[in-house]
Amino acid sequence: MSNPLLDMLGARRILPAAALIAMALAPSPAGGAQAADVIVSDNFYMPETLTVQAGSTVLWEQQGDLPHDITADDDSWSSHPACAPFIPGSCMADGDTYSRAFPETGTFGYHCTLHGTPGNGMAGTVRVVEPGFVFPTEVLDLRTSTNGDTLRVLGAASFGGVASLEVGTDPTGDGAQGYPAVLGFDLVKASIGQPDPRTGDLSFLIDAADLPPTGGVPEMAWYHWDFGVELGEQTLSGFIIRGRMTNATRETRVPSFFLDECGDSSCADTTAHPLEAVMDGEANRITITVPSSLLEQLLAASPGGAVIRTTGDVAFPNGVGVMAVPSNSALGPTSDSLNVSGTYTIGEREIGVGIAPAGGTPAFDAPAVVAEDGSFEASLDVSGLAPGAYDVSVEACFGTNCATRSVAVTL
């Protein structure tokens, strides 16, 4: 699956740094070329069901030896309208691609006119959801095989995201020392979200009242947000997200957001890492994305399960969690801060397996080994179980986003 970019409705990209962080599906390849969302093979589409955000363009790539096409179930569009009945050269051949934009939400079925019919045979579905939709976790496949006293459990899961968690609030309209909200100082809310378990990227959301709908934020506004991070019983170095809406010289209105690493006593911009950010003036929200690779670098370990605390004790002046500070000396040192509380646990992909008598409730206490593509494998010792009918169940979770599936077996 490909990864639709973080393009909220009405959102405007505000930082031309590295490539925009994707929020929904799998990553696009380097160089900007779109990877195939759906592989056309003999005689199936992979994946059979694809979920994308409204406004996405889906790319199919033919990798089979036989001729195929991609035709809407209602015949409203087709990759090769003359494919059926088969005429040499009129269908997709190996290496051919077809793309189509899906601007509206809905479920769109399609099939190969040579090897399928609507909903049967070589058929597929594109599900189009609203931007920001949190994808559900799904257990796509579950199979078992027995070898003596060992029950082998195999399957595949698609892990969904976790809704953003509000970690900072402030009354609307209080501004900074009475300055109008239009100056960009009236912070309202801060949240952390991880909608895409496939990338592991985090989204840090700052809501501010009355941001200009054009995407232009006053150049006086600075934003800071400081964190402490814990992994297990280990307290790790924190970091600060800071940004302003113009460059340092103000010669051009180029927004800049960075992540600064923090040591035991200070947070130095000498370790600044450029970040991507999107401002949605209609939603009054700034979304800053921290790549999982950067998190792993900071933690020197996989970030899954780490706890982020939005506190003021990570070598940051005044103990403020989030604030906007005007850089215009005529206004003086003003700020608007949020009341920060709570923690955010970075989601991780986990699958537990259990077995119980048919109709019983299993305990998902046997961990499965999960591959990067979502496939998983586990082994259960069934030597102590009496012969009979059982249910083998799995629970796949990304954070709190979980799904279960069972299959009947006879021992």
**Range name among 176-180, 274-278, 360-364 with the lowest pLDDT average:** 176-180
Same domain (yes/no): 182, 317: yes
Q: Are strands 322-324 and 222-231 parallel, antiparallel or unpaired?
A: antiparallel
User: What number is the average pLDDT over the span 14-22?
Assistant: 24
pLDDT score at 186:
74
* pLDDT over 60 at 276, yes or no: yes
Q: How far apart, in whole angstroms, are the C-alpha atoms of residue 92 and residue 281?
A: 43
Same domain (yes/no): 206, 275: yes
Domain of 121 in residue numbering reads as: 25-131
pLDDT tens readout for residues 298-352? 877 888 888 887 654 322 333 344 555 555 545 445 567 777 777 888 888 999 9
Same domain (yes/no): 45, 154: no
pLDDT tens readout for residues 159-210? 988 888 888 787 777 766 656 555 556 778 888 888 777 778 888 888 877 7
CB half-sphere exposure, 263, CA atoms < 13 A: 6
Residue 197 in domain: yes
pLDDT score at 180:
58
pLDDT score at 5:
21
Which of 78-87, 207-216, 268-277, 389-398 has maximum average pLDDT?
389-398
Among 35, 16, 18, which residue's Cα sits nearest to residue 26?
35
pLDDT confidence tier of residue 381, bands split at 50, 70 and 90: very high
Residue 16 in domain: no
Same domain (yes/no): 111, 241: no
pLDDT score at 250:
45
* pLDDT over 70 at 222, yes or no: no
Same domain (yes/no): 144, 103: no
The answer to whether the CB of 61 falls within 8 A of the CB of 23 is: no
* pLDDT over 50 at 29, yes or no: no
pLDDT confidence tier of residue 212, bands split at 50, 70 and 90: low
Instruction: Pick the last residue of a domain from 324, 345, 366.
Output: 345
The answer to whether the CB of 105 falls within 8 A of the CB of 128 is: yes
Residue 265 in domain: yes
pLDDT score at 236:
59
Domain CATH number, residue 67: 2.60.40.420
Instruction: Pick the last residue of a domain from 300, 316, 345.
Output: 345
**Range name among 16-30, 93-107, 194-208, 358-372 with the lowest pLDDT average:** 16-30
* pLDDT over 50 at 369, yes or no: yes
Residue 94 in domain: yes
pLDDT score at 220:
55
Query: Please, what is the average pLDDT of the chain?
Result: 75
* pLDDT over 50 at 355, yes or no: yes
Same domain (yes/no): 382, 291: no
Same domain (yes/no): 395, 334: no
Residue 20 in domain: no
Q: How far apart, in whole angstroms, are the C-alpha atoms of residue 383 and residue 169?
A: 55
Residue 67 in domain: yes
Among 164, 162, 191, 192, which residue's Cα sits nearest to residue 347?
162
* pLDDT over 80 at 248, yes or no: no
pLDDT score at 112:
94
User: What number is the average pLDDT over the span 213-233?
Assistant: 62
Domain CATH number, residue 155: 2.60.40.10
Same domain (yes/no): 223, 303: yes
Residue 177 in domain: yes
**Into how many domains does the chain fold?**
3
Kindly state the helix (H) or strand (E) to which residue 336 belongs, with its residue range: strand 336-337
Same domain (yes/no): 318, 401: no
Residue 199 in domain: yes
Q: Which residues contact 372 (CB under 8 A, 6 or more apart)?
A: none
pLDDT score at 379:
94
Same domain (yes/no): 191, 340: yes
Same domain (yes/no): 299, 214: yes
pLDDT score at 52:
82
State percent of the chain over pLDDT 70: 71
DSSP state of 294: H
Q: How far apart, in whole angstroms, are the C-alpha atoms of residue 368 and residue 379?
A: 8
pLDDT tens readout for residues 81-139? 989 777 778 899 999 999 999 988 889 999 999 999 999 999 999 988 876 678 889 99
Instruction: Pick the last residue of a domain from 131, 147, 171.
Output: 131
Same domain (yes/no): 275, 292: yes
Give 250 or 301, the one with higher predicted confidence: 301
* pLDDT over 80 at 362, yes or no: yes
Residue 265's Cβ-count burial label (10 Å; 0-12, 13-18, 19+) is exposed
